[in-house]
């Protein structure tokens, strides 16, 4: 608006100066002085009129700007209010952030405490499990010791022993194992049938007969005679099997080696189980001892079949 007013003022001044120059060219020499004076007065009057018009135009422009200035003032007040609200909200947010930071620090401390307690519990559980494992091994060992004079006879038909299993065994053992004939010191404390606790798919399968010898050396002599190469124990037409009597834990661990033992026997080797559950075998004049079925199976997979005349035998 101010730019347009200034432009209009310059146009009016230019028009008046052009009019004066035309009047001076037309006037006669005698009237030049009076015309010059009148021109100056006219010029002053025109300048005053122009200034008055400019001031009026400027005043009109200012009046037209007043609503805009009022709106701007209101906008500035609104912006100030918004800024005040923003500052207030910012202070609240900073306060909440401080509270959250403090809460997070407390949670971090509690988490550290819980993690430390969890580590202690884990260590305690590991120690307890290790202790239980040691106790189980010790219990199995004690149970094995209590059974060290026992033998398990498998395959004997039911009721074959009659009403006195001890007398039956004292009578039959020298028959089954001729090396025991004439041994007067062979004494059996007790003998009885046992139930395995597993369902019997074959209803004619006889129960195992367990008997306890008075002396451990007698038990070893019987096992030695049973393990002689080519030895077979039969009662009538029934083949009998003889095993040491171990605790359930030891029996399960030893039974896990049976697939590997069968595999090695099919390849011409003669593996042997050591107490409590280790497998020992001689291969290529070297003795190998395995503590786990997995380790023994890896060895069996690497072994090729051997001839019967090779130096592989029970150690």
Domain ranges of the chain: 148-245, 246-315
- What b/e sequence results for 183-221 when a residue is b if at least 16 CB atoms lie within 10 Å of its CB, and e otherwise? eeebebeebeeeeeeeeeeeeeebebbbbbbeeeebbeb
For the segment 166-192, what is each residue's pLDDT rounded down to a tens digit? 999 999 999 999 988 877 778 999 999
Q: How many helices (H) and strands (E) does the chain have?
A: 7, 8
Q: Which CATH number fits domain 246-315: 3.60.15.10, 3.50.40.10, 3.30.250.20, 3.40.50.2030?
A: 3.30.250.20
Indicate the pLDDT class of residue 290, thresholds 50, 70 and 90.
very high
- Rounded Cα distance between 255 and 4, Å, is 113
Please tell me the CATH superfamily of domain 148-245, with its number. Answer: L1 transposable element, RRM domain (3.30.70.1820)
Q: What are phi and psi of 242, to 5 degrees?
A: -130, 130
pLDDT at 37: 81
CB atoms near residue 253 (< 10 Å): 19
The pLDDT value given to residue 315:
35
pLDDT at 200 (0 to 100): 55
pTM above 0.75, yes or no: no
Q: Is the pLDDT of residue 313 over 50?
A: no
The answer to whether the 148-245 and 246-315 domains have the same CATH topology is no
């Amino acid at each position: 608006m101010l730019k347009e007013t200034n432009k209009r003022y310059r146009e009016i001044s230019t028009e008046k100066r052009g009019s004066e120059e035309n009047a001076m060219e037309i006037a006669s020499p005698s009237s030049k002085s009076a015309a010059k004076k009148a021109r100056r007065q006219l010029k002053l009057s025109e300048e005053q009129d122009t200034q008055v018009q400019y001031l009026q135009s400027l005043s009109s422009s200012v009046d037209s700007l007043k609503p805009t200035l009022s709106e701007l003032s209101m906008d500035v007040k609104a912006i100030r209010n918004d800024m005040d609200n923003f500052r207030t909200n910012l202070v609240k947010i900073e306060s909440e952030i401080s509270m959250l930071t403090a809460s997070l620090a407390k949670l971090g401390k509690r988490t550290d405490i819980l993690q430390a307690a969890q580590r202690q519990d884990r260590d305690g559980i590991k120690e307890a499990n290790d202790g239980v494992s040691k106790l189980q091994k010790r219990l199995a060992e004690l149970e094995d010791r209590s059974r060290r004079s026992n033998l398990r006879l498998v395959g004997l038909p039911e009721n074959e022993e009659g009403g006195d299993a001890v007398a039956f065994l004292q009578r039959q053992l020298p028959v089954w194992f001729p090396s025991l004939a004439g041994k007067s010191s062979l004494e059996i404390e007790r003998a009885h049938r046992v139930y395995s606790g597993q369902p019997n798919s074959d209803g004619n399968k006889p129960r195992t007969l367990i008997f306890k010898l008075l002396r451990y050396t007698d038990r070893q002599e019987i096992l030695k005679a049973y393990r002689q190469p080519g030895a077979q124990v039969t009662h009538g037409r029934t083949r009998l099997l003889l095993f040491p009597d171990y605790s359930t834990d030891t029996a399960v661990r030893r039974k896990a080696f049976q697939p590997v033992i069968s595999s090695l026997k099919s390849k011409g080797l003669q593996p042997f189980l050591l107490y409590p559950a280790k497998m020992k075998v001689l291969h290529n004049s070297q003795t190998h001892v395995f503590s786990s079925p997995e380790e023994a199976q890896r060895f069996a997979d690497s072994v090729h079949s051997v001839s019967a005349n090779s130096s592989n035998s029970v150690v």
